Amino acid sequence: MARSAWGRASALITGYPDAASAEALAAVAPREQLLFDFGWKFQFGHGSDPARDLGFGFGQGDFAKTGEFNFSKAKFDDSKWRQLNLPHDWAVELPFVHDQVQNSHGFKPLGRRYPETSVGWYRREFDIPAGDLGRRIWVEFDGAFRDVLVFVNGCFIGRNDNGYAPFRFDLTDFLNYGAKNCIVARVDASFGDGWFYEGAGIYRHVWLTKTDALHLGKWESTVRAEVSGDSATMTLGTVVRNDGKQAENAKVSWQILDAAGKTVATAEAPAQQIAVDGMATFTATAKLANPALWSVDAPNLYSAIVTVESDSRTRDAERVSFGVRTVLFDAEKGFFLNGKSIKLQGTCNHHDHAGVGAALPDRLQWFRLGVLREMGCNAVRTSHNMPTPEWVEGCDRMGLMMMCETRQMSSSPEGMAQLEAMIKRYRNSPSIVLWSIGNEEGQLQEPMAEQGAKIAATMVRRCHELDPTRVVSAAVNGNNQRGVSDAFDVIGFNYSLQLPDAYHKEHPKRPLYGSETSSAISTRGVYATDPLRNTVNAYDSVVRWGETAEEWWKFYGTREWEAGGFAWTGFDYRGEPTPYGWPSINSQFGIVDMCGFPKDTFFYYKAWWGKEPALHLFPHWNFAGKEGEMIPVWVYSNLDEVELFVNGQSQGSQKVPRLGHVEWKVRYEPGFIEARGSKGGKVVLTEKRETTGPEVAIRLTADRTEIDADGEDIAILKVEALDKEGSPVPTAGNLIGFKVTGAGALIGVGNGDPNCQESDKEPRRSLFNGLAQVIVQSTKRPGEIHIEAVKEGWDGPELTGAKLVITTKKAVPRPAAV
Ligand code: GAL
């Protein structure tokens, strides 16, 4: 089952970006957007001792004169620094510390009390050709954690003070043309933004972007498609800036391409004079006949190539990906996509994954979305921060709707800057159906409700101004009666199933949905709750404030006026170890574990959210030592009826209640259990769990055995232990070592165990209830990656090793800075 989820995830995304529009852009664009991820040097600094922080802050005058930061000059000796590529999260590399205060960070030593491991220096030398003189050149960070100071060629350039919003600096005046340059980023993770694992370092992509002096404004190009009958009118807009030495007579044109790269519409805005240091807004409209609508089942995308011309020369161009669809939150009838009623079958997710922490290769973002898609999830909430661009792009391309959330609920300059960056960055993405300005702001809901109402109103106004096409909300844990809630277009409830009915009666004109629900907990593959082992059984358990999967979906899935909701959470995440503390290092809220291996509840959602007949039987049937004991046996299914057999003996048939499950209690004896599910009186699906023998061999399988040799692509391997019949042993816990050689490298390992404190980076991992994960990444050299898995340590039975080869095929890497 898990394998098909993996296959599907990978099949949903092909190529990056889609070839046809990339080619069309390349044909006109004098702009270069260079990936700036490769070839960095890294060294820890220090949060309180300047002597161990490159002398930074030793005396008074660090910022006194421009040009004196010698560590960011090309002559500086960084030969002892570590070489690495971005994205990079140093927190995941650190050992765990048994310090209760650090539970949010997953017991990683970050913060002001850990100065040795909370500051990192990144350094990179790069070439700027003489021919670039006269162009505008920016360094653009998609996000870093958290406080960043950027220096170039001895000069302080700028700072960023949050962990999730993108930021960029214009380097044009500071560069050496036709010579070496140097950029340094001091990244300080002493302060945090959240109460969950956030990572540390430059954990998203960095870009070096070069344009003509006459160029498009950043994230100013918008395409708003309004559907009427069988055509759509597109309102096109952009801003052009003149950073050159003379006034320009600029003209903007748009070329709209469908997914196959065919031009389906064009538009032009009249030329305008733009003074030196001035800017101008350009707008136009275009019609699209019979647009292929974007939807969950058919995520059709279009591209707009926006081009600026002056003096009969193309000066700048960019590609905007967009979709055509209508979205409606209705107070009485719920949610509509393209006029069709559909429930938001959503999950909330944080952004970290096993093995890599917060630094995910793009392919891993898409893999995660594929896993969620496979269980029938059609919407994700980016709790509680602005997501990475590849997550949003994945949603656009795979047909997942999004509630996109900013980190700080505040109308302060910082709060507004974060909000604006999010909206401008993502407002063309068809997947986004709802903006969220925050989550559970206890103070602003009450007792500062008056200030809360004003803060939220200012933020909502700005959202509408920047994006008049979408509604705004926030995730509220409370009664939504006053304060921040006054300003929202759509009202979200976190938990508290007793509140929405009364609210709906009192406010029949306000659309409602579940902004955060469930918080059900379970440990994958575990069928007994054991507080001594920090495990929770898989039979839909829940924390005090939460609801089981069945409870919340029976509530939100059956009220016509509810738009649906977002379960906490799709994936397990590091930090906030719930329901237990140390030695747990991650939460157990996930419907899948940290690796993306499904827990049993996954199949509840698959049955009731998916469209295909489904049947899932659990637990496994390996309970040596429990012979004669009564074991609960559950089936999740959307069929009419299920009959259970133990060693061939019927235990009776049960009708499946709508949005529920069926269960038996049976006496354990080795052998097998089997569920036979029928529809209309005919058996259509069966599933068996057999007692396995002891493990004798390792098996390796990969989501893809051929990947791109672009230095970025990955293969995600599943590691299992098999008995002599070749059946996976669901209780295996063997320690397995990995040898990775050839045209790639191991970048992380995991096993989904919330209590495992083994390293994410060492080439070994224990299986947890029969499973582990290994992530390998290509280099830019085509060839083969050889992965060998062998038993390590003295414990347990002997295992035959396994080998797997991943082919890395020649690929055109994304243009990268040198
Ligand atoms: C919510 C909160 C989430 C997470 C969750 C755990 O109140 O919004 O971030 O902490 O509780 O149940």
Q: Which residue in 159, 165, 113 sits closest to 143, CA to CA?
A: 165
In this structure, what token pair is assigned to residue 380?
């994700």
**Predicted confidence (pLDDT) per residue in 479-514, tens digit:** 999 999 999 999 999 999 999 999 999 999 999 999
pLDDT confidence bin for 4, thresholds 50/70/90: very low
Strands 615-618 and 562-568: unpaired
pLDDT confidence bin for 364, thresholds 50/70/90: very high
| From 495, 519, 572, mutation site for ligand 1 pocket: most ligand atoms within 8 A of C-beta | 519
**Predicted confidence (pLDDT) per residue in 519-534, tens digit:** 999 999 999 999 999 9
- Give me the phi and psi of 342, to 5 degrees please: -150, 145
Q: Which residue in 649, 688, 768 sits closest to 720, CA to CA?
A: 768
- Could you tell me how far CA 183 lies from the centroid of its own chain? 28
| Spacing, Cα 359 to ligand 1 middle (Å) | 23
pLDDT for 23 equals: 80
Which residues are registered as beta bridge partners of 123? 41, 184
pLDDT for 39 equals: 98
Whether residue 3 is predicted with pLDDT greater than 60 in this model: the reply is no
The span from the CA of 514 to the CA of 496, in Å, is 10
Q: What average pLDDT score do residues 536-541 get?
A: 95
| From 104, 495, 516, 572, mutation site for ligand 1 pocket: most ligand atoms within 8 A of C-beta | 516
Which amino acid does the sequence have at 155?
A: C
Apex CA 520: angle with CA 515 and CA 526, to 5°?
Answer: 155
**How many CA atoms within 13 Å lie on the side-chain side of 776?**
35
Axis crossing angle, helix 389-398 with helix 362-374, rounded to the nearest 10: 40
**What string of H, E and C letters represents the secondary structure of 59-109?**
CCCCCCCCCCCHHHCCCCCCCCCEEECCCCCCHHHCCCCCCHHHHCCCCCC
User: Which residue puts its alpha carbon closest to atom 11 of ligand 1?
Assistant: 519
Of ligand 1's listed atoms, the one at least distance from the Cα of 546 is: 12
- Could you tell me how far CA 660 lies from the centroid of its own chain? 30
The span from the CA of 707 to the CA of 775, in Å, is 12
Q: What average pLDDT score do residues 572-597 get?
A: 97
Neighbours of 265 (CB within 10 A): 20
| Spacing, Cα 512 to ligand 1 middle (Å) | 19
Could you give the residue numbers annotated as active site?
Answer: 440, 516
| Spacing, Cα 605 to ligand 1 middle (Å) | 20
| Spacing, Cα 518 to ligand 1 middle (Å) | 10
| From 407, 576, 584, mutation site for ligand 1 pocket: most ligand atoms within 8 A of C-beta | 576
Of ligand 1's listed atoms, the one at least distance from the Cα of 516 is: 8
Answering whether pTM is above 0.95, one says yes
Q: Which residue in 148, 128, 106, 129 sits closest to 583, CA to CA?
A: 106
Where does 214-325 show beta strands of DSSP type E? 214-216, 222-228, 231-242, 248-257, 263-274, 279-289, 302-310, 313-322
Which residues are registered as beta bridge partners of 180? 127
| Spacing, Cα 557 to ligand 1 middle (Å) | 21
Which residues are registered as beta bridge partners of 706? 807
| Structure letter (DSSP) for residue 497 | T
**Predicted confidence (pLDDT) per residue in 732-779, tens digit:** 999 999 999 999 999 999 999 999 999 999 999 999 999 999 999 999
For 227-255, the DSSP string reads EETTEEEEEEEEEEEE-SSS-EEEEEEEE
Which residues are registered as beta bridge partners of 168? 140
**Predicted confidence (pLDDT) per residue in 678-699, tens digit:** 999 999 999 999 999 999 999 9
Whether residue 295 is predicted with pLDDT greater than 70 in this model: the reply is yes
CB 814 within 8 A of CB 710: yes
Whether residue 731 is predicted with pLDDT greater than 90 in this model: the reply is yes
Residues with CB under 6 A from ligand 1: 384, 439-440, 477, 494, 516, 519, 543, 568, 576
Of ligand 1's listed atoms, the one at least distance from the Cα of 587 is: 6
Which distant-in-sequence residues (6+ apart) come within 8 Å of 233 by Cβ?
225, 226, 285, 286, 287, 288
